[in-house]
A and B are shown apart, each in its own frame.
Chain A
Amino acid sequence: MNDAESPLSCTIRPTKYLSIGESMFHSGCGVIEILFPNMRPIDIEKISFVNNYTAALSIKMKIAKSASNQTGHTWVTGLKNYQLMPKPHCETGSQSYFHLMSSDFCKQPNEVCALRFILRQPSPNWKTFTLEEIYVHAKKTKDPTNENPKWLESVENLSASEMKPRDQAELKGLPDTEQVSEKMQEILQLAEKTVLSAPNVELGRFDIDGSYEINLLSYT
């Protein structure tokens, strides 16, 4: 697995506990909403979080309808009743770390605009429950500009026993190519310098084809 990219900085709304009307009762159900930066759709690679007494998790994803002609969005179930705590009354799994890969989801989490985590905790033992340190990692896009230039890949393949061309040349009485090459590369540096120091200001010549003959000037 390649190293995780730095997680996206998303806006995470605090857990909202569901209730009916104004009566205060523990419904055992909470919602966390996650919005992505700049509101652009994202392909999710991984979601990681730390449990805090949540028994089960469902995820709903808001998928942008950019693929089809329709505008707007739909809410799709990504994960249904994912068990975080095997026994809700007990402590196991209550403070564990979880990673959800894109393969765990029912539907591919591509082009997601927002996420809703639906938390369930049926046990009356735990009055408050939430998820902490929620990080969303997006899929890495391949960098097209990172390819090697062609000339770098065209290095000659010499077998171990073969002599390098410059040693072969020296044996045959040809001039020392290392010295020549060194000096040529110095010339290259000098040429580079002339290109770099090109003037930004023009002299303001009025030459036509390299000559300044008054007789050649036209009236137009």
Chain B
Amino acid sequence: MGDRKKSPIEERKQQYKDYLDKTDVTSQVREALLKLIENQPKDPMLFLANYFDNISTSDKSDKITTVHQILQLTHHSQQSFQTNLIVAYDAASLAKNPNSKKASMNRPGLTGSVFEELLATILSNVPKNLHATLLERIGCRASEMVPFDVFRYCITVCYVFVDFVKLCGSIFSVLCGKQSGKVTDKDICEIVISSLKDALDSLQDDNSPCSILEAAYVLRPDKLASSLLSNKSSKTDKSTMNEDDFMKEMIDVFTSKIKVLK
């Protein structure tokens, strides 16, 4: 008995299957879908577009870019960010050249220099003068090896910082209000900065719900409004503050809460 003669439809199906197998597309698409499910972004199409964009350029990219792409997959508030941190740490800790006989080339682990480069990439959108204080606190020296816990902490702080800078910017524009130009009353800014300081001070280390409520209570609109009102009636001169100074002071207050690495 010879082979059963295949119908044209079956032949075509086989052709398609061979094509897919040859180009290895199914596994890549499956990977993409898995990542999509893991990260559950608000805009799935945009996420997929960025993912495939990164795939096509990944042959030429170096370690830092790959790790950065992994970390960008989801926002730091999502649960899947923690998984991505683990994957990113593994990718960043790969030895430079596993087959080399030189000891410095084939040891796995995240060195301080790679870590510093990674931080710089994450903070690339923030002006350099603003993130100097942050790097003082969470930077690592070139010779130090970075364990996972420290990596997790510093990367989370970085992304939190990026969000913080954005929020400060929008607060400043609200404070400018209807005034033209990018300046606002110095006293108003001072009041806002000092109320943030008070709130952060009342946020104790024990993370009890009571202390969080207390801190939020300090920042309620009525309290802000009463301090602004009482200040308005007493001031005489009108000094202004520009965005840079405002941002610097807010950042100083915020970074004082960040633990220095030991």
Q: Which A residues fall within an 8 A CB radius of B?
A: 149, 151-152, 156, 164-166, 168-169, 172-181, 183-188, 190-203, 205
Contact = CB atoms under 8 A, between A and B. Distances in A.
Contacts of B221: 165-166, 177-178, 180-181
Given A149-B214, A174-B188, A165 B222 contact: yes
A119 B131 CA distance: 84
B150 interface: yes
A196 B215 CA distance: 15
A55 to B, nearest CB: 57
Q: 9 closest Cβ contacts across the A-B interface?
A: A169-B225, A165-B225, A201-B149, A181-B221, A199-B153, A166-B225, A177-B221, A199-B149, A165-B226
B161 to A, nearest CB: 8
Contacts of B33: none
A199 B150 contact: yes
Contacts of A186: 167
A188 B203 contact: yes
Given A180-B192, A201-B147, A203-B144, A190 B163 contact: yes
B224 A183 contact: no
Nearest to B195: A184
B217 A151 contact: yes
20 contacts: A164-B225, A165-B222, A168-B225, A169-B224, A172-B229, A174-B188, A180-B221, A183-B167, A183-B170, A183-B174, A184-B171, A187-B167, A194-B157, A195-B203, A199-B149, A199-B152, A199-B259, A199-B261, A205-B144, A205-B261
Interface in B223-247: 223-226, 228-229, 232
A161 to B, nearest CB: 16
Contact of B262 (A168, A184, A202): A202
Contact of A165 (B170, B210, B214, B229): B229
A174 B171 contact: no
A195 B200 CA distance: 11
Contacts of A187: 164, 167-168, 196, 254
Nearest to B223: A165
Contact of A180 (B76, B174, B229): B174
Contacts of B152: 197, 199
A169 B254 CA distance: 27
A183 B192 CA distance: 11
Contacts of B219: 181, 184-185, 188
Nearest to A212: B141
Interface in B103-150: 140, 144, 146-150
A194 B217 contact: no
A152 to B, nearest CB: 8
